[in-house]
Chain A
Amino acid sequence: MQGLHMVGVRHAYGRTQVLNDISLTVPAGELVCLLGPSGCGKTTLLRIAAGMERLQGGSVTIDEQVVAAPNVQVPPEERQIGFMFQDYALFPHLSVFDNVAFGLFRLDQGAARTRAMEVLEQVGMTHHADKHPHLLSGGQQQRVALARALAPKPRLVLLDEPFAGLDTNMRARVRQQTLSVLKQTNVATLMVTHDPREAMFMADRIKVMGENGQILQSGRPEDIYYNPVEEYVARLFGPMNMIKGTVRNGALETSFGVLSVNGQDDGAAVRLLIRPEGINLSSNGDQPGDTPVEVISAHLLGDSSIVRIRIRDGINSGAEFQARIPGAFDLMGGGRTWARVDPAHVFPYPQEQ
C-alpha cells in the first residue's frame, strides 16, 4: 500500500526506552499526528522514519519499499521524503528560490525552475523568491520550509512541531494553509506535536503517546476527545473537574444527578473527570440534573469564559468546579444560577489505590 508503514519500532538512548513497540500506518493522502509531551520520543520516531536516526528494532516501509529493518538502513537522501524541522532549517546562505530548488538537482535547470516556482506559488511565496531567509517573518519561513520539503514530490512528508515557532494568530492561519497544501499534494504525512488542538485540527488520525514511549490511544480526533481511554489522554486537553466516589447500582450519585460510570463494578472507587465545557450554566433550573450553584468568579477569554462555581446542595455541596461557557458570563444578570453536566464530557476512571 502507498504511504508509510512502521511496525514495532523500538528505540532507547542508553537505558531510557523512548519508543516502545510503536506501529503506525499513514496511507497516501492522509495525515497522522503523533501527540505527546515534549521529550517522549516522538521526534525520534520522525527521525527514524527519515533515516536520520538508526533503527534499533522494528521496520519502516515507505511505498512498499523497506527503508529500515534490522539489516536494512537506506540513508535519508535515498528515501524520497520531505522533512520540515521545528526550526525550519532554511539554508541561510541561499535565497528562498535556491532553498526550494535545493532538492531539485535531478531535474534540468528549466524544469527545476518551473517546479520551484510552482510550489512557491502553492504556498504564496513567489514574490519573495529572491530574498534570503533572514528577511522573512516566521510564518513566511514556515511556508518556504514547506515548499522546500514538497518540491521534489516526496513519497512521505514529516513535520516536526511545524507551528511551534509561530505566535498564536499566525498559527491558526498557517496551519489552515499547510493543511490545504498537503491535501492538494495528496501525500502521506506524519506530524508530531505536543499541542492537542493542533493535532485535532490537522489530523485524520491521532496517535497519543505517553511518557513511557507507548501509544496510549489511536483514533479520530473525536475518539480522542470524547472517548479518552485513559485519564492521561483525557487530561491532555486542559484542566478537568473531578468528582470522587463509590459506585452504587452501576452509577455514581452526584449533585448533578446520577452519572453513568461505564460498567465499573459496584463498590469500586472511581474518579469522574468532567471537562469545563461539559458544565452548562443556566438561570432557570428547569432541566433534569440542574443543581443550584454559587458563582465565585468569571474570566472572559474572548470567545468563551471560564466561570468558577461552588455547588450549594447535594452530595458534593461546597465543591468547586470550573465551567467553560461560550461568550461572556453575565455576572449582573442576578438571580440564581444552575449548573448541569453534559454526559458526553464525563469520563469515569478507576481510582488508583
Chain B
Amino acid sequence: MTKPWRQSWGRLDLWAVGTVVFAVISAVPVMAVIYLALTPGDNIWPHLVSTVLGGYIATTITLMVGVGSGTLVLGVGSAWLVTMCRFPGRRLFEWGMLLPMAMPAYIVAYVYTDILEFAGPVQGALREVFGWSSKRDYWFPEIRSLGGAITMMTLVLYPYVYLLSRAAFLEQSVGVFEASRSLGRGPWRSFFTVALPLARPAIIIGLYLVLMETLNDYGTVDFFAVNTFSLGIFDVWMNMNNVSGAAQLATVMLVFVAVLVLGERYARRKQRFHNTSTKMQPLPGFPLSGALRYLATAGCLLPILLGFVLPTLVLLAYAHRHYDAELTAEILGHAGNSVKLSVLAGAIAVVIAIVMTYGARIKGGPLLTAANRIAAMGYAIPGAVLAVGVLVVLGGLDNSIDDFARRHFGLSTGLLFSGTIAAVTFGYLVRFLALSLGTVEASLGKVTPSMDGASRSLGRGAFATMRLVHLPLIRASVLTAVLLVFVDCMKELPMTVILRPFNFQTLATFVHQYASDEQLGEAALAALSIVGVGVLPVILLSLTIARSRPGHGAEPAAAQPIGREA
C-alpha cells in the first residue's frame, strides 16, 4: 500500500500531464547540449582534442581526487570524533562542523588570496620579520594554484561528508562496535574494520555531493585560473565564441557526472544491507585521555576556524574599513536583485515540486516516478553545462517566435527570453528543483495514505484534498523547500554570470567581478551578505541535529509519520 490509489487514465488528468510536462521541460537544456554537441555547426572537436581537452580532463580529475580525499579525511574524521569520542567542545562541534557550508568556495578563495598573496599581510609580515626583500629570498606556497583550489574547496565542502557519515555512525548499532572491542580489537582497528565499512554507503553519498559541487565550481577555478571543464566551457564559449565547442566540452563533462551518479547509485544499492534503525540510542562514547583530548578539540576546531570564522572576520574587517555609503546603496540594489530572483525561483520550484510529488502520489506508476527522477537530475548537472543548454534552448525559442511573428505579423519580437531574468530563473529551476522535490517528497511521504483515502471518501477531489489535508500537514517542509532553493540561488555564480541580463548584477556576480579585479574590500559587504544567507540552512540542520540528539526525549518530529496518533 505504498500508493494511495491509481485512477483512471481515461479523463484528462492535470496532475499527470503537469508532472510529465515539468519533467520534460527540465530535461530540455541537457538534451539541447547533447544534441548540439553531436551536430556541431562549426566542428572544433578535433582541435579541442589535440589542444586543451587532455589538460581539462587531467586538471578536473586531479581536483576531484584532491578535494575528495581532503573532504573524506576531514569529514569522516570529525564525524567519528564527534559521535564516538568524548572531548572538550564536542557538543559545540556537532553543529559547528557544518558552519563552513555557509561559505561559497569562491568567497574563501578571494579571502585567502587576499591574505596570502605576495602583497598580502601574511607574506608582508614574514618579510618584515625575516628581512626578506623580494620573492626570490624565500619560498611561499602559491595560493592561486590547483593545490590552492583543492584546499579552498575542501575547507567548505567537507561538511557534506561530515553530515552523512555522522548520521551513519549514529545509526550503527552501538553493540556492533562494542562487540568488536570486546572481541579484543582496539578502538582504531574496530573503527577501520567495523564502523567504517558499515558507514561506507552514506560516506559515498556525501562524497558524491562533494564531487558534484567540485565539478560545478566556477568562481574558484576562474579566479585561480585552474583549467577545469567549467572554466573550459566558459573559455571556448566566451573567448573562442564557439557554442558547439562549449556544448561538446559540456557533454564530456556529463560523462563525468554520469559516472558519479552511477557510482552513487551503486553505493545506495548496497545500503539496504545495512541496519538503518532510526531509533537513536545514546552512544556511550569513549572519553579521550590526556593530550589526545586536546588534539581532538584542535582537529575539529581548525576546519571551522579556517573554513568559516577566519574568512568571516576578514570580511567583517574589510567591510568596516571600506565602508562607503554610495557603494552600500549599490550593493543593496544588487541584493534586491538577488533576493527577487531567488524568491521567484524558490516559490516556483516549490509549486512545481508539490504538483510533481502529489501527482506521483495519487497516480503512481513508473512513468510519473521516472518523471520525478528526471526532474531531480538537474542537481547533478554543473552550472556551466546548464547555462549553455538554457541559452541554446531559449535562443532557439526566441528565433522561432521572431520568425513566426515576422512571417505572420510582419514585426520582430526580438529576444523575448534570452538575457532576461526569465532565463536566469529557468536555469535556477532546472538546477535546484531537486532540492524542493526531495524536501516535499520526504514530507509528503510521511502523510499516511489513509489520509488521502479519508478525504476522498468524504467527497473531496484530488485538488481539494491537497489544499485541505496535505498542504496544512507539510507546511513547514514547504517553507524549508523554498528556503533551500532560495539560499542556493543566492550563492549561485556560473549560470548567473552567463544568463543574467546586460548590466544586471546580483550579489554573487558583483562579488565575482570586484574580487576578480582584486578589490575584495569593496565586495566584502556583499560577500558577507551571501555568507549570512548561507548560514540559514546550517541553522536549520543544527536544529534537526539538536532535536535528534540521543537522550533529547522525543524522537525527531520529522521522523514520525504524520497522522498516526498514539
Number of residues from B at the complex interface, CB < 8 A:
29
B182 on interface, CB distance cutoff 8 Å: no
Instruction: Please indicate the chain B residues that have their CB under 8 angstroms from the CB of A158 in the complex.
Output: 457
Q: Does B459 contact A (CB under 8 A)?
A: yes
Answer whether residue A77 sits at the interface, using C-beta atoms and an 8 A cutoff.
yes
Contacts of A105 in B (CB 8 A): 459-460
A137 CB to closest chain B CB (Å) equals 10
Q: Which of A50, A87, A91 contacts B457 (CB 8 A)?
A: A50
The verdict on A27 contacting chain B, using a C-beta distance below 8 Å, is no
> B456–A92 contact, CB under 8 A?
no
Interface code A36-63, partner B: CB below 8 Å = 1, 0 otherwise?
Answer: 0000000100010011111000000000
Nearest-CB residue, chain A, relative to B473: A93
| Beta-carbon contact of B461 and A77 below 8 Å | yes
Decide if B563 touches A92 in the complex (CB within 8 Å): yes
Encode B1-21 as 1/0 by CB contact (under 8 A) with A: 100111110100000000000
Q: Is the CB of A82 within 8 A of B448?
A: no
Contact of A89 among B6, B454, B566 (CB under 8 A): B454
* B458–A89 CB distance below 8 A: no
Closest B residue to A76 using CB positions: B456
Q: In the complex, what residues of B have CB within 8 A of residue A79's CB?
A: 457
Q: Tell me the minimal C-beta distance from B36 to chain A in angstroms.
A: 42
Within 8 A of B (CB), among A67-119: 73, 75-83, 85-93, 102-103, 105-106
* Inter-chain contacts of B454 with A (CB < 8 A): 83, 85, 89-91, 148
Q: At the interface, yes or no: A134 with Cβ under 8 Å from chain B?
A: yes
Does A141 sit within 8 A of B, measured CB to CB? Answer: yes
* Contact in complex: B460, A87 (CB < 8 Å): no
Instruction: List A residues 6-38 near B (Cβ within 8 Å).
Output: none
The answer to whether the Cβ of A133 comes within 8 Å of any Cβ in the partner chain is yes
Q: Mark B429-464, 1 if CB is under 8 A from A, else 0.
A: 000000000000000000010111111111111000
**A162 CB-CB contact with B under 8 Å:** no
B563 near A77: Cβ-Cβ < 8 Å:
no
Q: A213 at the A/B interface (Cβ < 8 Å)? A: no
B469 close to chain A: CB less than 8 A: yes
Q: Are A85 and B460 interface neighbours, CB within 8 A? A: no
Contact status of A82 and B457, CB under 8 A, knowing A89-B451, A93-B473: yes
In the assembled complex, how far is the CB of residue A247 from the closest CB belonging to chain B, in whole angstroms? 47
B339 on interface, CB distance cutoff 8 Å: no
Is B453 touching A83 in the complex (CB atoms < 8 A)? yes
Cα A88 to Cα B566 with chains together (Å): 11
In the complex, A92 Cα to B459 Cα: how many Å?
A: 19
Q: How far is the CB of A69 from chain B (nearest CB, A)?
A: 12
Q: How far is the CA of A87 from the CA of B473 in the complex (A)?
A: 17
Residue of A nearest to B451 (CB): A89
Q: Count of chain A residues with Cβ under 8 Å from any Cβ of B?
A: 39
A85, B453: Cα distance in complex, Å: 8
The A interface, classified by DSSP as helix, strand, loop or mixed, is: loop
CB distance from B457 to the nearest CB of A (A): 4
Nearest neighbor of B364 in chain A, beta-carbon distance: A54
Judge whether B565 is part of the interface by a CB distance below 8 angstroms. yes
CA distance A105 to B458 in the complex (A): 9
Q: A47-B5, A92-B562, A102-B468 are in contact. Are A152 and B459 (CB under 8 A)?
A: yes
Decide if B460 touches A50 in the complex (CB within 8 Å): no
A118 to B565, CA, bound (A): 25
A52 touching B460 by the CB < 8 A rule?
no
B557 to chain A, nearest CB (A): 12
> How many A-B contacts at CB < 8 Å in the complex?
98
Taking a contact as CB atoms under 8 Å apart, the answer to whether A83 and B7 are in contact is no
Cα–Cα distance between A183 and B226 once the two chains are bound (Å): 80
Find the B residue at minimum CB distance from A72.
B8
Interchain CB contact (< 8 A) of B565 among A73, A81, A133: A133
Contact B5–A89 (Cβ < 8 Å): no
Determine how close the nearest CB of chain B comes to the CB of A153; give it in whole angstroms: 11
Q: Are B565 and A92 in contact (CB under 8 A)?
A: yes
Instruction: Please indicate the chain B residues that have their CB under 8 angstroms from the CB of A47 in the complex.
Output: 5, 453
Q: Mark B238-249, 1 if CB is under 8 A from A, else 0.
A: 000000000000
Q: Which of B4, B6, B469 contacts A91 (CB 8 A)?
A: B469
CB <8 Å contact, A52 and B565: no
Q: Which residue of A lies closest to B456 (CB)?
A: A76
Q: A88-B565, A92-B473, A141-B565 are in contact. Are A81 and B457 (CB under 8 A)?
A: yes
Task: Please indicate the chain B residues that have their CB under 8 angstroms from the CB of A91 in the complex.
Answer: 451, 454-455, 469, 563
Q: Does the CB pair B5–A54 fall under 8 Å? A: yes
Residues from chain B with a CB closer than 8 A to the CB of A85 are 450, 453-454
Decide if B473 touches A52 in the complex (CB within 8 Å).
no
Q: A320–B91 Cα gap in the complex (Å)? A: 64
CB of B460 within 8 A of CB of A134, answer no
Min distance, Cβ B410 to any Cβ of chain A, angstroms = 50
Note all chain A residues with C-beta closer than 8 A to B459. 77-78, 80, 103, 105-106, 152
**Hey, which chain A residues are within 8 Å of B473, CB to CB?**
92-93
Judge whether B564 and A50 touch: CB under 8 Å. no
For the complex, give the distance between the alpha carbons of A266 and B400 in Å. 91
Question: Does B553 sit within 8 A of A, measured CB to CB?
Answer: no
On chain A, the residues within 8 Å of B290 by CB distance are none
List residues of chain B with CB within 8 A of the CB of A52. 4-5, 452-453, 456-457
Is B366 part of the contact surface with A, judged by Cβ < 8 Å?
Answer: no
Is B46 an interface residue, CB under 8 A from the partner?
no
How far, in angstroms, from A337 to B19 measured CA to CA in the complex?
75
B472 at the A interface (CB under 8 A): yes
B471 to chain A: closest residue by CB: A93
In whole Å, how far is A206's beta carbon from the nearest beta carbon of chain B? Answer: 24
Q: Establish whether residues B7 and A89, one from each chain, have CB atoms under 8 Å apart when the complex forms.
A: no
Q: How far is the CA of A91 from the CA of B464 in the complex (A)?
A: 14
Are B453 and A76 interface neighbours, CB within 8 A? yes
Chain B nearest CB, measured from A150 CB (Å): 11
Interchain CB contact under 8 A, B456 and A77 = yes
Asked if B450 and A87 make an inter-chain contact with CB atoms under 8 angstroms apart, the answer reads yes
Residues of A within 8 A of B469 (CB): 91
A90 contacts B453, C-beta separation under 8 Å: no
The residue of chain A having its C-beta at the shortest distance from the C-beta of B7 within the complex is: A75
Q: B453 contacts which of A78, A89, A133, A148 (Cβ < 8 Å)?
A: A89
- B6 nearest CB neighbor, chain A only: A54
Contacts of B563 in A (CB 8 A): 87, 89-92
14 A-B pairs (CB sep. < 8 Å): A50-B457, A51-B5, A52-B457, A73-B7, A78-B459, A82-B458, A87-B450, A87-B564, A89-B453, A93-B472, A102-B455, A103-B458, A133-B565, A151-B458
Given contacts A54-B6, A80-B459, 18 further A-B contacts (CB under 8 A): A50-B453, A73-B7, A75-B7, A75-B456, A82-B457, A83-B457, A85-B454, A87-B450, A87-B565, A89-B448, A91-B454, A92-B563, A93-B472, A103-B459, A105-B460, A133-B565, A134-B566, A152-B459
Q: State the 3 A-B residue pairs at the shortest beta-carbon distance, nearest first.
A: A103-B458, A89-B450, A76-B456
